[in-house]
Amino acid sequence: KQEVTQIPAALSVPEGENLVLNCSFTDSAIYNLQWFRQDPGKGLTSLLLIQSSQREQTSGRLNASLDKSSGRSTLYIAASQPGDSATYLCAVSGAGNMLTFGGGTRLMVKP
Amino acid sequence: SAVISQKPSRDICQRGTSLTIQCQVDSQVTMMFWYRQQPGQSLTLIATANQGSEATYESGFVIDKFPISRPNLTFSTLTVSNMSPEDSSIYLCSVERRQGYTFGSGTRLTVV
């Protein structure tokens, strides 16, 4: 059974810092990995999708990498802003189109 | 990516009652997924809904408690039946597209 772990569970940084969020998964037989953002009490906003054949994806200040063989992904956020404060969720897609989520990283960027 | 309209966005319900959540997708999709997010937790898949067949439920979820309808390729409902305070959660629907999974805005349910 696929298990997804995110470290750290919570992170507080001053504005302007570059930061890295980590995601690991136990079964490397994935179709893709997706990073989401969730604001309190809200739905999920997709940030980046990495297909299993890709190594990384970039969107603006966000860069996500994937090392499928070692079961790891990182989300890099450059020059963090208070508006980046949210919970970031990593999810992997495998057999049966099933998404398995990590526990999330709660990010607080202080002005 | 797909646009999903989910409603209601939130509700406060009495224990023992039922609530039906609706999701409308802006284009046809084969499968729709229903998730639950308990307070402070990540998302857990409740069931997968295919048009024209019975939904497939994950371990720990049963049809009597969470009946699902999928009358066509753009619409699905999830009912939370005979609610108790433990059902207080955010419920989300999702579809898969080429650009990945897209989620509805969620239904925040509080059972009192």
**pLDDT, tens only, B28-65:** 999 999 999 999 888 999 999 988 888 999 999 999 99
Bond prior to A111 in cis (omega within 30° of 0): no
| pLDDT of B19 higher than 70 | yes
pLDDT value of position A48:
96
Tokens of A37: 């953002």
pLDDT value of position B92:
96
Backbone angles phi, psi at B86, to 5 degrees: -65, -15
Residue B42 and residue A103: Cβ atoms within 8 Å?
yes
Average pLDDT over residues B66-92: 96
Half-sphere CA count of A91, side-chain side, radius 13 A: 29
Asked if A7 is an interface residue toward chain B (Cβ–Cβ < 8 A), one would say no
Decide: B81 and B66 in contact? Cβ < 8 Å: yes
Range scoring the smallest mean pLDDT among A49-58, B16-25, B63-72, B95-104: B95-104
pLDDT value of position B1:
58
Q: How far apart are CA A101 and CA A5, in angstroms?
A: 8
Interface probe with B: pick from A2, A98, A99, most Cβ of B within 10 Å: A99
| pLDDT of B107 higher than 90 | yes
pLDDT value of position B51:
84
Asked if A35 is an interface residue toward chain B (Cβ–Cβ < 8 A), one would say no
Based on C-alpha coordinates, what's the Rg of chain A?
13
Mean pLDDT of chain B: 94
Which residue, B43, B36, B32, is CA-closest to B86? Answer: B36
Chain B residues close to A97, C-beta within 8 Å:
31, 33, 48, 96
Which residue, B36, B35, B26, is CA-closest to B2? Answer: B26
For A:92-111, CB contacts with B below 8 A are 93, 96-99, 101-104
pLDDT band at B2 (very low <50, low <70, confident <90, very high): low
Decide: B4 and B24 in contact? Cβ < 8 Å: yes
Q: Residue with structure tokens 């802003």?
A: A81
Residues in chain A with pLDDT < 50?
none
| Per-position b or e across A4-25, b if 16+ CB within 10 A of its CB | bebeeeebebeeeeebebebbb
